[in-house]
Structure formats: structure tokens, C-alpha cells
Amino acid sequence: MSHWVVAIGPVGVIGALTTIHRAREVTGCSDSGSKSSGDGDGGAIGDGDSCQTGNEGCACYANKTCNEDLQCLSKLRVDAGGTGDGGESNSGDGDGDLSSGDGDGDSSSGDGDGDSSTGGDGDSSSGDGDGDSSTGGDGDGDALDACKNAAANVIDNFASCDENICNVDGRSGSWYNYADTLVNDSFKVGVPGGLWGDQSCAAVATGGSDEISHVGYAGIGIILADGEPYDLSGYTGLRLSIETDDDVQVIIKTATGGLFGAWFAGNTNSSSLSRDVSFASMSALVGSVGSKTLNAITELQFNADDPTAYGFAVHRVTLY
């Protein structure tokens, strides 16, 4: 194993110090510029490479000076087993990190990602290629919510119990609430609490108003694909697990301004029940524009029958 005197510029001080192998007597290229035992890499240290006195990686001048703005650091030696990693203490791989031949610039093995883990993803987890802190490879750079590997027809099962829907089958969106300005509305995603029968996580909407004759609307909705058109034409309709005493209108919104809806009856059993609402049963609402284009749906909405006093908890939304 060959060892060399280090001659570096100001920019490379930190990198070179990390390459220090051990200190002994100063040895290396002679003042006459003799060839080193080499590595064949074309750099100053290596086989077939001319090592000129005063150049980086070569011997210092007798007065302990170097060419240009380099410094002469005597009695320091580096492991020349590699090919110019620029700051590692292991065998040479040319990657600029502290480990073995991966070319990635991080502190781990060959993934090419520049992070501290494996898999070529650029994040702090395993190899999903998404650049975020989770797995599942969505390429968006943020934390992915796959709802515990939910099936492709699951819009939300509340496995993560947050406002984000399941990021599966190209869907990526969230829950929201809406109401007339006269409605005192409340919305949350979480355990319903209180007198609700089903205490599993849900999208919970409650509200009311004293302005009985003037209140227009209230409810909650889902953005399916961050506002982009989403194709639901391969499905028959929506299946809900919902707890409510009130009638609820299920609405689909299209990218062209279409609004289509159908009602289902509430229940008085103080527990969530399954309700199926087919797309075929949905009719155009007031203000709807265009036809029912199921291949360009942007949002789903759940509209309260009586916004002056309402409450419902949606525990699951799937396609069938």
C-alpha cells in the first residue's frame, strides 16, 4: 500500500483531512518528479501519471511550498489504493463518500442517490425512487399515503386517519368541507367521539343555523386527483360506510362543469351502514353543464339534506 504527502488547496482542506490514513515520515515523489507506483487513473497519484514537484498530491518543494495556492501539509499520508474519491478512507471507488464503490456521494453503498440509505431513491427510506420519506414510489417528493396497501377501488379507508385520501390507482387528493355563510359548520377527520355509534376514524361533518328560510347548502367533499380529471368509467358507482340520521345527497363533479347527484336515506340505528349509489342513478343538478362524463370526474361531494341541522360521519368510500 502506497502513502503520499498531501498537498491541497483551501477548498479541499476538509476533504483531504478526511482521507488521512496515518502519519509517519514524509515520503513520496522525489524532487526530480519521478513516477509513482500507480493506479492508472490519469491523476497526480497513480501509475503512468507524472508527479511534478509542487503539484497537488506530489512532493513539496524543499522550502515546504507548493505551486499556485496549494499548501504543503507534511507528515500526513493518504491511502492511495483508490482512484481519487475526494474524501473517503476506504478503497477507491471515485464517489466522494466514505464507503465503497457506488459513485453516489453518500455514506452508504451503491445506490447512486446521494442519501444515507439504499435503493436509488434520493430519500431517507428504501428504494422507491420517489424522493420522499416513505415507500411506494409516487414520484411526488412528499409522504405517500397508500392506506396500508389498499386495493385499487378504495378511495379512502382512513387507515392513516388524516384528510388525505388513499394514494392508489393514480388518485391523490384530500377531504374538504363547504357550507353556506349562514351555517355554523364543523368538520374533522378523526374519531367521532360523543354519541356516535361507530368510533372508528371518519370524516365527520356537523352543523346548523337559526336562519331556517335562508340557508342553502352544507356538506363535505373529496378532491380525487389534485383537481385533474379522473376516470371512473370502469366502475358502477360509489359504496359508502356512513353513519347518519339524515338523508344525504351524493354528487359527482366533472371537469366540464357537470353536477350529477342522487339521494340515499339515513338510518336510526346509531351505527354506520353500507350504502351503494350508482352513477346511473345520478341526475343533472341545477346549474350543471354538459353530459355525465365519467372519464373526467374531479370531485365527489356529500351534501346535507337539511343544512339547518345535520350530522354525518363517513367511515369508508370505495368504488364498485
Residue 206 contacts by C-beta under 8 Å, 6 or more apart in sequence? 185, 186, 310, 311
Burial pattern 98-122, b for ≥16 Cβ within 10 A else e, equals ebbbbebebebeebebebebbbbbb
Give the residue with greater pLDDT, 148 vs 88. 148
Which residue segments constitute the domains of the chain, with CATH numbers given?
Answer: 1-101 (no CATH), 175-319 (2.60.120.430)
Residue 144: which pLDDT band, with cuts at 50, 70 and 90?
A: low
pLDDT digits (tens, 9 = 90+) for 74-109: 433 333 344 444 444 444 444 444 444 444 445 545
Q: In the numeric block, which cell numbers belong to residue 315?
A: 367511515
Residue in this structure with the C-alpha cell 477548498, named with its chain if needed: 11
Residue 25 contacts by C-beta under 8 Å, 6 or more apart in sequence? 75
Residue in this structure with the C-alpha cell 483508490, named with its chain if needed: 82
Asked if the model's pLDDT at residue 153 lies above 60, the reply is yes
Give the residue with greater pLDDT, 150 vs 216. 150
Give the residue with greater pLDDT, 282 vs 1. 282
Asked if the model's pLDDT at residue 315 lies above 50, the reply is yes
Residue 54: which pLDDT band, with cuts at 50, 70 and 90?
A: confident
Residue in this structure with the C-alpha cell 503539484, named with its chain if needed: 55
Of the chain, the percentage scoring pLDDT greater than 70 comes to 62
Taking the C-alpha atoms of residue 218 and residue 295, their distance in angstroms, rounded to an integer, is 26
Residue 216 has what pLDDT? 86
Residue 200: which pLDDT band, with cuts at 50, 70 and 90?
A: very high
Of the chain, the percentage scoring pLDDT greater than 90 comes to 49
Residue 182 has what pLDDT? 92
Q: What is the CA radius of gyration of the chain?
A: 33
Helix (H) or strand (E) holding 15: helix 13-17
Whole-model pTM: value is 0.57
Residue 288 has what pLDDT? 97
Does residue 219 contact residue 179 with C-beta atoms inside 8 Å?
A: yes
Asked if the model's pLDDT at residue 209 lies above 50, the reply is yes
Asked if the model's pLDDT at residue 238 lies above 90, the reply is yes
What's the DSSP call for residue 164? Answer: B
Supply the mean pLDDT for the chain.
73
Taking the C-alpha atoms of residue 221 and residue 299, their distance in angstroms, rounded to an integer, is 7
pLDDT digits (tens, 9 = 90+) for 117-136: 444 444 444 444 444 444 43
